[in-house]
Each structure stands twice: as C-alpha cells, then as structure tokens.
Amino acid sequence: MATQVKATPRERLLEAAATLTYHDGVGIGVEALCKAAGVSKRSMYQLFESKDELLAVSLEERASAFAARLLPAADDDRPPRERILHVFEQVELQAGAPEFRGCRYLAVQIELKDESHPASQVARRVKGNLTAFFRSEAEHGGASDPDLLARQLSLVFDGANARAGIRADSLAGLIAPTVGTLLEGAGVR
C-alpha cells in the first residue's frame, strides 16, 4: 500500500493561490489564502515575501502545464495550420468544463492593470510565449505576414477565453471557423 505524501505548507499555499485567484480573482485576501491552505499568515510570510510574490510563483509553476494543455507536442508533425488549430480545439474543449473561467493569465493582466506587478510580468511572458508559438507556426506555414497573424490569433484566443469564461458565448462551432478564416486569408498551409 502506497503512502500519500502530505503537501508542504508552500505547496498548499501555491495551490490555494491558484485555485482561489482563478475562481475569485487576484483581490482574494491573505487571510482567505492562508485559511484555504491551512497555513498561518506568519508561515506564509516566512515562505513568500508578499501575496504578490505568492501569486507570481503560483502562475509561474503552472505555466508549463498551461502550455502542455494547449500546444501540440514538439514531435507532432502535422502541418502548421493543423498545429495552430489544435490550440483552439483545446480552448473549445476546456471551455466546456463547468469550472472554466477563461485564461488565468489574461485574467491576471486585466485585474492587476499594473505592468510592473510580478504576477503581471509572469502572465505577460506566458502570453508572449503563446504569441511566439503562433508566429513560428505562421512563418513555417507560409503566412504572408506572420507577425500580424500571430497578433490576430492571440486576439482571437483572448477574446474566446474571455467570452467563454464569463459564459457569454459557446465556442462550439465558432472558434475553428473563425481561426480557419484567418489562416486561409494569411495563406497558411
């Protein structure tokens, strides 16, 4: 029988930060974070300099999982058009889950508004990496203007996440044709 390893206070704080800020926003208080993690405020401040640092580390630690859920595998040899569409298929799938609230990285940027905030910097980098993926694929696919297409795809990504996250629209049957039109217009193969 395997023994379950108990999460450390640091791990519990990071998980509480990820869960509570995704559901309730970055304005969640330190007291609520500590209560959810079962950790004292004193312990939190021994582990993290501030709530801002806790939020930034929480976002950073989830960045690779975010990319893994969205992006095709590195050894996926489908054409660039299909690799880009894969991202939006994943968004559509995720948006169908009842707990879906949109892209956590976009939400942080919108809520914080302060570009110098450590969590905002993490979010900007993660979102920049997604745009860089779009640009690379657009270039490999022969897009007439890879930079413009990458920005357009990022706009659709953010808009789709925002609309689905607030339950204003369903992405089913909407996102793939929209992206397909952009890809066709840019000449991506």
Both tokens of 9, joined, read 């206070």
Q: Which residue has the tokens 């942080």?
A: 108
> Residue 5 — pLDDT band, cuts 50, 70, 90?
confident
Q: What does the pLDDT read at residue 175?
A: 95
Q: What does the pLDDT read at residue 21?
A: 96
For 166, which DSSP code? T
Same domain, 40 and 85: no
Same domain, 137 and 61: yes
pLDDT of 31 above 80: yes
Q: Which residue has the tokens 């860089």?
A: 132
Same domain, 181 and 153: yes
Same domain, 44 and 60: no
Q: What does the pLDDT read at residue 151?
A: 98
Same domain, 11 and 35: yes
Q: Is residue 1 part of a domain?
A: no
Mean pLDDT of 53-64: 97
pLDDT of 2 above 70: no
Same domain, 179 and 164: yes
Query: Own/partner pairs for 7-13, CB < 8 Å, 24+ apart?
Result: 9/37, 9/38, 9/39, 9/43, 9/44, 9/47, 10/47, 12/37, 12/38, 12/39, 13/37, 13/39, 13/44, 13/47, 13/48, 13/54
* Strand runs labelled E in the chain: none
Reported as a single tens digit per residue, the pLDDT across 151-173 is 999 999 999 999 999 999 999 99
Reported as a single tens digit per residue, the pLDDT across 74-91 is 999 999 999 999 999 999
Both tokens of 58, joined, read 């929480």
CATH number, domain at 28?
1.10.10.60
Please report, in angstroms and rounded to a whole number, the separation of the first and last CA atoms in the chain.
52
Same domain, 75 and 132: yes
pTM to 2 decimals?
Answer: 0.93
Q: What does the pLDDT read at residue 158?
A: 98
> Residue 104 — pLDDT band, cuts 50, 70, 90?
very high
Q: Is residue 11 part of a domain?
A: yes
Mean pLDDT of 25-51: 97
How wide is the angle at C-alpha 174 spanned by C-alphas 168 and 175, nearest 5°?
100
CATH number, domain at 96?
1.10.357.10
Domain of 112, in residue numbers? 52-186
Q: Is residue 2 part of a domain?
A: no
More confident residue, 2 or 52: 52
Same domain, 116 and 31: no
Q: Is residue 121 part of a domain?
A: yes
Same domain, 145 and 159: yes
State how far the Cα of 34 lies from the Cα of 22, in Å rounded to an integer. Answer: 16
Q: HEC states along 18-60?
A: HHHHHHHCCCCCHHHHHHHHCCCHHHHHHHCCCHHHHHHHHHH
Q: Which residue has the tokens 């022969």?
A: 142
Same domain, 131 and 66: yes
Q: What does the pLDDT read at residue 182?
A: 98
State how far the Cα of 76 lies from the Cα of 59, in Å rounded to an integer. Answer: 26
State how far the Cα of 68 lies from the Cα of 43, in Å rounded to an integer. Answer: 32
Return mean pLDDT, the chain: 96
